[in-house]
Chain A
Amino acid sequence: MAKNREFGNRRLHSLLGVIPIGLFLIFHLSVNFMATKGEETFNGAVHLIEYTPVKILVEWVVIYLPIIFHAVYGIYIAFTAKNNLGRFSFFRNWMFMLQRLTGVITLIFLVWHIWATRIQAAMGAEVNFDMMADIFSNPFMIAFYLVGVISTIFHFSNGLWSFAVSWGLTVSPKSQKIMTYFTLVVFVLLSYIGVRAIFAFV
């Protein structure tokens, strides 16, 4: 088994990015989007999530542990690459570089985001519409969240493409091309949802 550690780690890294992290991202963005339907709708949704049975366990198993593994191993992957866009400016090589760049941006954003929301909640703050509106009263935070959310969505969408290759779902060049278009649509749609939600708090 020790021989196959790297293979297993890479596959696990790829899988966790989609299940559960990617699914959680879609869920999270959908809940955020409720802010566009008004303060009460958003607070109601947040309230509902707070009733999740064994919430702390679910959070660790579905969110924290997978993200910690994905982040730590992802940083290792990102820094073992030697980007060569200057010599090879192909589309996929751009995606390769951006995947690593957005991964690092996403991690920085996430650390801040978890500190400002979940950890504050653990220390007694109440998570609701006002909390976010308060954060976004600072224009720098709006820019920071825009960059963070869009880079997270890019990382997920493009990661979905490489997930399909890494697990052998898309083998032929044509299937990979169709998947490129599909993930582009995913990126645009989720970005729309994410950005609309941010401005709902402003």
Chain B
Amino acid sequence: MVETKSETKTVRFIITRQDTPDSAPYDEEFELAYRPNMNVISALMEIRRNPVTVQGKHTTAIAWDMNCLEEVCGACSMVINGKPRQSCTALIDQLEQPVRLAPMRTFPVVRDLQVDRSRMFDSLKKVKAWIPIDGTYNLGPGPRMPEKKRQWAYELSKCMTCGVCLEACPNVNTNSNFMGPQPLSQVRLFNAHPTGAMNKAERLNTIMGDGGLANCGNSQNCVQSCPKGIPLTTSIAALNRDTAIQQFRNFFGSDEV
């Protein structure tokens, strides 16, 4: 009896689609048979097997990005019922219907729900979000990181470049060149590392450039939206303090190397 009941239950989707990066978006509606433990990705896969809309129109399969399916890679982010989040952890049982899916428009749309997240990776390169250890000879082991600090830094390292914080930020848009909270928090992570700290001033000076740290407007949407609970606004405020000192050093000079 339970089985027949679940078979008659359906899930409705309204999906914003877009055929090419420059074409106009349009909505298509789909209805699927409900299955227990469904998530948005399994529903999209189901639609891909039989791409027919509610109106009975045969359409193309929906394009979206996915990879790890366990909310650590950040690839499957999209706007689900108005909120940017990962589609792999968006369980149908917890979503209001009809489920509305749309791409994160802060990024250039490639097709349907697929967006181009390159700008975040470009930002990571720009701020040098890594620890340079290469030399022409063996430099030996670096300074040790205290365990307590390592545990703290681990939280910042959970960033998966998913783009939710950029989508939530009112200051990341086509009118502004703000890089967004994601690369900024990584600057704090790599500046906190004992070896990474050797390039601290360089990273700070980069985020003091155009489109950098100062463009934050403190709406704090990022910290509320981050799926990994990264203290993004604490990172930004801490960097505000670091850059305040750095700007005095730049202006007056400093004997600190």
Complex contacts, A6 vs chain B, CB 8 Å: 209-212, 214-215
- With A3-B209, A82-B173 in contact, do A87 and B218 touch (Cβ < 8 Å)? no
Residues of the B chain whose Cβ atoms lie less than 8 Å from the Cβ of A169 = 241
Chain B nearest CB from A5 CB (Å) reads 7
Q: Give the chain B neighbours of A92 by CB distance below 8 A.
A: 218-221
Q: Is A96 within 8 A of B234, CB to CB? A: no
**Are A79's CB and B209's CB within 8 A?**
no
A196 and B35 alpha carbons, distance in the complex (Å): 64
Check A93 for interface membership: any CB of B closer than 8 A. Answer: yes
Q: Is the CB of B209 within 8 A of A96?
A: no
Return chain A residues, CB-CB under 8 Å to B240. Answer: 165-168, 171
With A4-B209, A7-B214 in contact, is A93–B234 under 8 Å at CB? no
Q: Which residues of A contact B210 (CB under 8 A)?
A: 3, 5-7
Most buried by A among B83, B173, B239, B240: B240
Given A80-B176, A168-B242, A168-B244: A162 touches B212 (CB 8 Å cut-off): no
A63 to chain B, nearest CB (A): 25
Check B138 for interface membership: any CB of A closer than 8 A. Answer: no
**B237, A176: Cβ atoms closer than 8 Å:** yes
Q: Does residue A172 face the partner (Cβ distance < 8 Å to B)?
A: yes
Interface size, chain B (Cβ < 8 Å): 38
B199 sits at the interface (CB 8 A): no
CA distance A82 to B241 in the complex (A): 26
Q: Given A7-B214, A171-B237, are A84 and B168 also a contact pair (CB < 8 Å)?
A: yes
What 0/1 readout, one digit per residue, does chain B (182-214) give for beta carbons within 8 Å of chain A? Answer: 000000000000000000000000001111111
A79 CA / B175 CA spacing, docked (Å)? 8
Pick from B176, B218, B220, B241: contact of A171, CB under 8 Å: B241
Enumerate 18 A-B pairs (CB-CB under 8 Å) in ascending A order: A4-B209, A7-B243, A11-B214, A79-B175, A80-B175, A81-B170, A82-B175, A90-B221, A92-B220, A92-B221, A165-B236, A165-B237, A166-B214, A168-B239, A168-B240, A168-B242, A170-B237, A172-B234
